[in-house]
Amino acid sequence: MVHPFLRKLRHGARLTKDNEDILGRLVQSTRLVGAREDVVPFGGAPRYLPLVVDGWACRYITLENGRRQIVSLFLPGDLCEPFGVLPRFMDHAIAALTPVVIAQIRPEAIRAAANASPRIDEALWWDLLVTSAIDREHLVSLGRRTATERLGHLFCELHLRLTMIGLVDEDEPSYDMPVTQADLGDLLGLSMVHINRSLQELRRSGMISLRDRRLSIRDLDGLRELSFFDDGYLHPFGALSLLNSSDVSDVGRTSR
Amino acid sequence: MVHPFLRKLRHGARLTKDNEDILGRLVQSTRLVGAREDVVPFGGAPRYLPLVVDGWACRYITLENGRRQIVSLFLPGDLCEPFGVLPRFMDHAIAALTPVVIAQIRPEAIRAAANASPRIDEALWWDLLVTSAIDREHLVSLGRRTATERLGHLFCELHLRLTMIGLVDEDEPSYDMPVTQADLGDLLGLSMVHINRSLQELRRSGMISLRDRRLSIRDLDGLRELSFFDDGYLHPFGALSLLNSSDVSDVGRTSR
DNA sequence: CGGGCTATTGACGCTTGTCAAGAGCGGTGG
DNA sequence: CCACCGCTCTTGACAAGCGTCAATAGCCCG
């Protein structure tokens, strides 16, 4: 049972056994948070960096009129704030979407780990870059994709992110999607009703099936095309060039 | 004439003269990019971190069907990528919205600067946090704000960001807004036509005036209320608590 | 058996997009 | 000097996407 944090960071740098020991020690102190509870409330000054060990969480912002927007989705292995610093004031909140196990990391410790090894440093910066890229694609979805495109794009992204941490059943790819349609609405900037209708459209067209919080992708290529999904932003094979980690052969990618 | 990069970072940490010298040396190598040209193209592996010295730039992503979304807006003093690393593959592009002067920074140099002084380190991480927060609010706009709210929020944000670098005329606050309505559409996830109509609505209601690429804010409080603008996310008085930079008295803020 | 949460469906209306045309303006070349 | 071009802004008419309101059904759990 490899820790999801390690599973993910392995995609960002070639970690040695030693590196993984150091990283593993960072995530030992954990606590449980119930579904729909805040992991870190709005406005506070957190004392630890939260990292999701198990379950799904999110970052959200609530407007004064009650409208809520989920800004980021956190899966197992995801660090909820940039490593290395603690915000002095939370301009957003972190909440559990399902019951979650949260590891609490001290920023001094994670910085020390980065300083201890260039590969850890590389992995952590890679993670920061990928996290930013995910948020950017999310923003593009809200700005320029239709409802079904947003859903399709999300499902493709989750397929990749969950694959990275070994949570996808690969023949007829399927994975658990333990969130309500209301949550999906808040995530994708749509109403719950419209999410429901768009999901049905995706089902009718044979792209997906979704029952009992389990998503099966029936036509991955179709879904990718429909939603303009290009996996380049997830940098599946490393993204940094500060270090010369040589062995990065070229990866076939859309070039425009 | 203080460099806008310094003007901005002063809001993030108490920089000494020495600190500022170090930072000033980072931004000495510059080049010019014409309006509408790419500063860094999609797909490339940049060799420098771009920083805007003068003019306005943006980060954008184009979908395969031609729709464009501007993801971030860069003003003078803005670093266009997280400090400390170079992406090995650009999943987006950086473009000039007006003619811009770009400083080219080597990531090793900026990391060395961060290591040379805790205050520089603090300022750079503060900048990273503020930049992320701006992107998050942008995402909230696209997801949960109407057209006029998005415009109002943008104008409030620009008012603050431009104030930080001394580009706002403060009696009847006004500033230059050198972008086309089409650009605003791509930034706010709307059509150019709808931007035009929404701008007129803001004019008619006496919130703003906008002529010859100059924006005047007639009713700042009204604009803030209308667009659910809360300046907390810009962390105007420092945002980190890694270092004990003591003298941060409490700042009055909306508490939820 | 009843309450609460989630998913579903229908009817209706508003926000926003699309298409198209025209006006204003600065630059350029004959 | 004027005609022409290209860019931006503006306006109108219409259509489409999505939100809101409301009602119902299914399910789990007490």
Q: Give me the half-sphere count of Cα atoms (radius 13 Å) on the Cβ side of residue B236.
A: 15
Please judge whether B241 and A45 are an interchain contact, meaning their C-beta atoms are less than 8 angstroms apart: yes
Q: Which spans in A117-254 are helix H?
A: 118-144, 147-164, 181-188, 192-204, 220-226
Q: Residue B256 above 80 pLDDT? A: no
Q: Which of residues 165-184 of A touch B (CB under 8 A)?
A: none
Neighbours of B220 (CB within 10 A): 16
Of A3, A55, A61, A2, give the one whose Cα is nearest residue A31.
Answer: A55
Q: Give me the half-sphere count of Cα atoms (radius 13 Å) on the Cβ side of residue A228.
A: 20
Q: Which nucleotide is nearest to B195 (CA to C1')?
A: C16
Q: Residue B241 above 60 pLDDT? A: no
Amino acid at site A68:
R
In which residue are the tokens 């193209």 written?
B41
Q: Chain A contacts of B43, Cβ < 8 Å?
A: 253-256
Mean pLDDT, residues A66-92: 96
Neighbours of B256 (CB within 10 A): 9
Query: Integer distance in angstroms from CA B193 to C1' C20?
Result: 12
Q: pLDDT by residue (tens digit) across A147-191?
A: 999 999 999 999 999 999 999 998 889 999 999 999 999 999 999
Q: Chain A contacts of B143, Cβ < 8 Å?
A: 69, 142, 188-189
Q: Does A63 touch chain B (CB under 8 A)?
A: yes
| Chain D nucleotides reached by a protein CB under 7 Å | 7-13, 17-22
pLDDT at position B250 is 38
Instruction: Give the gyration radius of chain B's Cα atoms.
Output: 18
Nearest residue, CB atoms, B233 vs list A91, A137, A238? A91
Q: Does A244 touch chain B (CB under 8 A)?
A: no
Q: Which of residues 204-233 of B touch A (CB under 8 A)?
A: 228, 230, 232-233
The DSSP element (H or E) to which B69 belongs, if any, is: strand B68-74
Q: Does A129 touch chain B (CB under 8 A)?
A: yes
Among the four given CATH numbers 3.60.150.10, 2.60.120.10, 2.40.30.170, 1.10.40.50, the one describing domain A4-234: 2.60.120.10
Q: Which nucleotide is nearest to A35 (CA to C1')?
A: C5
Q: Does B61 touch chain A (CB under 8 A)?
A: yes
Classify residue B204 by burial, with Cβ atoms within 10 Å: 0-12, 13-18, 19+: exposed
Q: Does B38 touch chain A (CB under 8 A)?
A: no
Asked if A60 and A92 touch (Cβ cutoff 8 Å), the reply is: yes
pLDDT at position B236 is 60
Please judge whether B136 and A255 are an interchain contact, meaning their C-beta atoms are less than 8 angstroms apart: no
Q: Chain B contacts of A94, Cβ < 8 Å?
A: none
Nearest residue, CB atoms, A242 vs list B86, B133, B137? B86
Query: Integer distance in angstroms from CA A143 to C1' D22?
Result: 30
Q: pLDDT by residue (tens digit) across B121-152?
A: 999 999 999 999 999 999 999 999 999 999 99
A256: confidence class by pLDDT, cuts 50, 70, 90: very low
Asked if A101 and A34 touch (Cβ cutoff 8 Å), the reply is: no
Rounded CA-CA distance A71/A93 in Å is 10
Q: Does A86 touch chain B (CB under 8 A)?
A: yes
pLDDT at position A47 is 96
Q: Does B82 touch chain A (CB under 8 A)?
A: yes
Q: Does A246 touch chain B (CB under 8 A)?
A: no
Q: Does A92 touch chain B (CB under 8 A)?
A: yes
pLDDT at position A1 is 82
Segments making up each domain of chain B, as ranges: 1-144, 146-227
pLDDT at position B238 is 58
Amino acid at site A7:
R
Of B129, B133, B134, B142, give the one whose Cα is nearest residue B184.
Answer: B142
Is any atom of nucleic acid chain C found less than 7 Å from the CB of residue A146? no
Weakest-pLDDT range from A139-143, B78-82, B252-256? B252-256
Q: Does A145 touch chain B (CB under 8 A)?
A: yes
* Fold of the domain built from segment(s) B1-144: Jelly Rolls (2.60.120)
Q: What percent of chain B has pLDDT over 90?
A: 89
Rounded CA-CA distance B66/B97 in Å is 18
The DSSP element (H or E) to which B110 belongs, if any, is: helix B107-116
Which numeric CATH code is attached to B146-227? 1.10.10.10
Q: pLDDT by residue (tens digit) across B187-239?
A: 999 999 999 999 999 999 999 999 999 999 999 999 999 999 999 999 765 55
Report phi then psi at B35, rounded to 5. Answer: -55, 140
Q: How far is CA B94 from the centre of its chain?
A: 13
Please judge whether B88 and A235 are an interchain contact, meaning their C-beta atoms are less than 8 angstroms apart: yes
Of A234, A217, A155, give the one whose Cα is nearest residue A188.
Answer: A155
Neighbours of B35 (CB within 10 A): 14
pLDDT at position A237 is 59
Query: Integer distance in angstroms from CA B86 to C1' D16?
Result: 43
Of B97, B66, B64, B190, give the one whose Cα is nearest residue A232.
Answer: B64
Q: Which nucleotide is nearest to A188 (CA to C1')?
A: D18
Q: pLDDT by residue (tens digit) across B88-97?
A: 999 999 999 9
Task: Name the residue in chain A with its Cα closest to that of B85.
Answer: A242
Smallest Cα distance from B183 to chain A, Å: 13
Q: Residue A211 above 60 pLDDT? A: yes
Nearest residue, CB atoms, B189 vs list A43, A125, A144? A144
Most distant pair of Cα atoms in chain B: their distance:
53
Is any atom of nucleic acid chain D found less than 7 Å from the CB of residue B146? no
Q: Which nucleotide is nearest to A36 (CA to C1')?
A: C5
Is any atom of nucleic acid chain C found less than 7 Å from the CB of residue A180? yes
Residues in CB range of A112: below 8 A, 6 or more apart: none
Q: How far is CA A59 from CA A37, A86, B194, in A?
A: 12, 15, 30
Asked if B237 and B251 touch (Cβ cutoff 8 Å), the reply is: yes
Rounded CA-CA distance A175/B43 in Å is 30
Asked if A69 and A13 touch (Cβ cutoff 8 Å), the reply is: no
pLDDT at position B251 is 39
Neighbours of B88 (CB within 10 A): 20
Residue in B122, B140, B245, B253 to test binding to A, most A beta-carbons within 10 Å? B140
Q: pLDDT by residue (tens digit) across A235-255?
A: 765 555 444 444 433 333 343
Please judge whether A238 and B88 are an interchain contact, meaning their C-beta atoms are less than 8 angstroms apart: yes
